[in-house]
Amino acid sequence: MKIFVTDGSCCTGKAVIKELVSLGAEVYGLVPDDTSAYEIEKLGGRTLIGDIRDEYILEKGIKAADKIYHVCPSWILDEIEVANKIIKISQGSDISLLGYHSVMTPHFDSVPSLWNKMQVQMLLMKSHLPFTVIQPAIYMQSLFDSMVIESDSIKFELPFNPDAQISWVDIDDVANAVALILTRPNHVGGTYELCGTDAPISCFNVLKEIDNLSLKNIELIHVPVYEDENISFINKYNSKQMNHQKLYYDFINANGMRAGNSKVLTMLLQRSPNSFKRAFNLKYQL
């Protein structure tokens, strides 16, 4: 079985490729450069180097595949156009499944980055292709990655308010579930909400679960992505992308991101999803 992952360089793509390889699938990811290709090859995958907007590259990947997992690079402005290209090429190919990596809450038209996912889902419904949709909650690792360890303290520099109520999931659980869906039969037409928590939880309360940090002086800081202090974001994204991020995080600040429970993920994995404590311990090998 050959599976093509349309963004092998992002955290989701790499996690999915790792799981697919472990299940014996022949998997290759589209990556932008040699450095990313080397990372995928270390995981046991194969690569295509190119741009996700390049129809020649997309056709080369799709035509050689039995199944596709479409992961769109974060915050790109032309996600719908990219999806249209993938769908049109897939319609002329002999694929048995097109998986789409969406979000848990694509329904809000006031948040472009979410609404674009909803529009892609609608394109899939009209495509007459065999498809399935994955809707993950916010990754637990996005909290861990905001951690700054200092000599006597730990800071979490968050793009949203620390008291926002959020539904979470471990990226490794998502990758595990996606790999199972892609390698087992009878998943065509499914839309799967993947959440690891049964109730929304704020970052303040998350840290209470991770007792490995209990002896540390912990500070949670809200650093909006569009402020001058967040220079890494400002250098990486253009003004329209930054505005889309502002709308997304403003939505979380006002409403939280509360959706889903662990039932679907438990069904797929045949076990309980990872808790924050377990995900943290696995990431830092504690």
> What is the spatial distance between Cα 125 and Cα 122, in angstroms, rounded to a whole number?
5
Identity of the highest mean pLDDT range in 130-134, 220-224, 276-280 = 130-134
* Percent of the chain at pLDDT exceeding 70: 94
Question: Which residues contact residue 198 at a Cβ distance below 8 angstroms, ignoring those fewer than 6 apart?
Answer: 261, 262
Q: What is the pLDDT of residues 146-202, one digit of tens each?
A: 988 887 788 899 999 999 999 999 999 999 999 999 999 999 999 999 999 999 999
Q: Which two tokens stand for residue 194?
A: 């993947």
Q: Token match 């959440």: residue? A: 195
Q: Given this model, what pLDDT does residue 209 score?
A: 80
Confidence check: pLDDT of 214 > 70: no
Q: Is residue 217 a contact partner of residue 234, using CB atoms and an 8 Å limit?
A: no
Question: Which residues contact residue 264 at a Cβ distance below 8 angstroms, ignoring those fewer than 6 apart?
Answer: 192, 193, 194, 195
> What is the spatial distance between Cα 187 and Cα 96, in angstroms, rounded to a whole number?
11
Q: Residue 18: what are its φ and ψ, rounded to 5°?
A: -60, -45
Question: Which residues contact residue 92 at a Cβ distance below 8 angstroms, ignoring those fewer than 6 apart?
Answer: none
C-alpha to C-alpha distances, 142 to 134, 137, 160, 165, 214, nearest whole angstrom: 18, 11, 11, 15, 20
CA-based angle 136:140:146, to the nearest 5? 130
Question: Which residues contact residue 224 at a Cβ distance below 8 angstroms, ignoring those fewer than 6 apart?
Answer: 159, 230, 246, 249
Q: Is residue 248 a contact partner of residue 111, using CB atoms and an 8 Å limit?
A: yes
The domains located in the chain, with CATH, are 2-137+170-196+259-275 (3.40.50.720)
The model carries a pTM of 0.94
